[in-house]
Structure 1
Amino acid sequence: MKKVRFLFLALLMLFLVACGDEDSTDDSTSTSEDKKLALLMADLGNPFFHVLRDAVVEQAESLGYEVIIYDGQNDASKQPSQVEDALQKGVSAIVINPGDEDSTANALKEAIAQNIPVVTVDRKVNVDGILSYLVTDNTKGGVLSGEWLANKLPDGGNVIHIEGVMGTAPQRERGGGFLSVIDPAKNPESKFKILDTVVGDFSMAPAEAAMSDLLAKHDDIDAVFAQNDTMAVGVARAIETAGRDKDGIIIIGFDGAQEAYDLIKDGKMSVTAVQDFDFIGKEAVNFVDAYLKDGKKPESEVLVDVYMSDSK
């Protein structure tokens, strides 16, 4: 009888231990999945995007998330497979800086179908169900850049316009805002002339090459509006290489990157329209965190203010 009782107790203990282990495994899995956030960046070759990356990582880690970072390397075709990889790794939220507004749509539809919150930053994605689009007020930044130039050169002048990646929201909105002030075709009161418009893809080397060609073509350039600071750096390099740094060509950038402030300090650049990527990155994490914890939804589109600066 004692042997029977001992066997019964032994079996009961094994059963309880097994149940305890199973419960522990389930809790661990749930916690791990709830704490993974995917950050997909369009191009970490752009130094200013490091500000956004670092802000997301800092805020997410402070809230207990593991952050999985993907670099699109300015190649929009990479992001769809990166989204799929993130889903396979069991992320519970996605913050994405899209390389293209259309190519990632189908992959993100799958994330949304799984009730994974998606916040896009800097650029939109053409798909229903995005939790929020969090972005600098690019149109206002373009307008402010135009107004700054109009005040700097009240008698007008000849302007070069260097655009970013064509078709993206920053390219359209920054350019649209700037031209609404400077281009006589948009503003009959403008005294400026748009000498040339070229594409720099938001990258230094293409902008530098394009500016080199423009300097050979034009000897009467008064100002250049580059739609981001990385391209403005390329413009400044081209001007210096061509020996035109004494021409007094005004360079206007957009971002508020450290590289821009360094050039401004050295007198090689004039001003930049500042966007707050640190705030945007942290707020994007707060949006998905609040949704995961409480089901709280932010505004579908949040515009972050921008201002002009010639010093840091």
Structure 2
Amino acid sequence: MKRRSLKLLSLSVVSMLLVGSLVGCSQQKESTTTATKKLGMVISTLNNPFFVSMKDGAEKKAKELGYTLVVLDSQNDSAKERSNVEDLMQQGVTAIIINPTDSDAVKNSIQVANDKKVPVITVDRQANGGDVVCHVASDNVKGGSMAADFILDQLKTKSDIKIVELQGIPGASATRDRGAGFHKVVDGKANVKVVASQAADFDRQKGLSVTENIIQATPAFDAVFAHNDEMALGAVKALKAANKNVIIVGFDGNKDAVDAVNSGDMAATIAQQPDLMGSMAVDNAVKVTKGETVPKQIPVELKIVKK
């Protein structure tokens, strides 16, 4: 009787150990699967509706594909950007999407991921260094040209056209490319002059203060081209306060700017699709983690929004 009881007890213990082992294996497998389905996204700033929309589009696509997306804000600080990438490396992401704060400085952040063999995709702004598998962005050069063409068409009856340019963050590829497209159209034209070209760092408050300074120094101008909508909206406020009626064209197509176009405060905005950019970045990050080949450059369509 004792032997039988001992035998039954032994079988019970073995069964429990086997079940525990199987549960442990199942949990380990589940944990591994979860870890390998985690992506990282580092955004230059979330204090801007454009990048919030980009984040929302990325999160929606990640959820749709069954991936976890960890989004970190660099607060327009390259040092913060690098620490964000290091944090994501610790979290075990399988790919990183970076919207650079600065196209030159970001190579240090990308190198952190490169050293860990984690693929990097850039979005909106390019990187001037590091190994990047894919870049998702609008054609910023084309967008700058679209803005210039629109301004010149609106002022075609004037013999002497004076334009103010509000530049973005110095060193950002979007600043360089949008400016290049704009100047490609206006430079060399005898009746067109850019009377002021100053950086306002893609910021609404800086767009306001820089425009106020320009009005004081150069009161006569016909149009403002701002490298993004936030600066354009700052310019709107400054120009209203000075009772100046000029053409204002922004870039991005965010909600506040579209509302300003519809109300007549802005003439136009070159509209990007930040939610689609975020979505496409995640879609291609997932493809890369699965070993698929993706294009080095993925363009996102632009359109002009005008009343």
With the length of structure 1 as denominator, give the TM-score of the two structures. 0.91
Is residue 53 of structure 1 aligned with residue 49 of structure 2? no
Counterparts of 1:212 and 1:43, CA distance in 2: 25
Instruction: Specify the SS of the correspondent of 2:265.
Output: coil
Partner residue, 2:105:
103
The question of whether the paired residues in 2 share the 8 Å contact of 1:131 and 1:297 is answered with: no
Tell me what 1:231 maps to: 231
Answer yes or no: is 1:216 the counterpart of 2:216: yes
SS at match of 1:134: strand
Task: Flag as ranges the 4+ runs of structure 1 deviating above 6 A.
Answer: none
Q: Which residue of 2 aligns with 1:132?
A: 134
Matches of 2:150 and 2:128, distance apart in 1: 33
State the match for 1:280 in structure 2: 277
Which residue is equivalent to 1:268?
Answer: 265
Change (3 A) 1:308 1:93: same
Alignment of 1:182 with 2:183, yes or no, is: no
CA shift for structure 1 position 121:
0.4
Give the % identical residues. 32
- Structure 1 residue 304: Cα displacement: 2.1
Matched, 1:299 2:295: yes
**Contact 1:287–1:297 under 8 Å retained in 2:** no
Q: Distance in 1 between matches of 2:130 and 2:77?
A: 23
Q: Do the aligned residues in 2 keep the contact of 1:255 with 1:273 (CA within 8 Å)? A: yes
Q: 1:63 aligns with which of 62, 65, 76?
A: 65
1:255 is matched with 252
Spell out, residue by residue over 1:200-250, the C-alpha distance to the aligned partner (whole angstroms, 9 max, x if none): 000011111010011112221101110000000000000112232xxx311
Write the letter of the residue equivalent to 1:249. V
More displaced stretch, 209-218 vs 224-233: 209-218
Deviation at residue 165 of structure 1 after TM alignment:
0.3
Task: List alignment gaps of at least 5 residues for structure 2.
Answer: none
1:77 corresponds to which residue?
A: 79
Query: How many angstroms apart in 2 are the aligned matches of 1:135 and 1:190?
Result: 33
Name the CA distance, whole Å, in 1 between partners of 2:89 and 2:140.
31
Change (3 A) 1:76 1:106: closer
Residue identity in the other structure for 1:81: S
Superposition map of 1:134-173 within 5 A: 134-154=136-156, 155-173=159-177
Alignment length, in residue pairs? 303
1:25 corresponds to which of 24, 27, 32: 27
The residue aligned with 2:305 is 309
Deviations 1:23-46 (A, max 9, x none): 122112212212222221101111
Structure 2: distance between partners of 1:7 and 1:111: 53
- Cα distance, 1:137 vs structure 2: 0.1
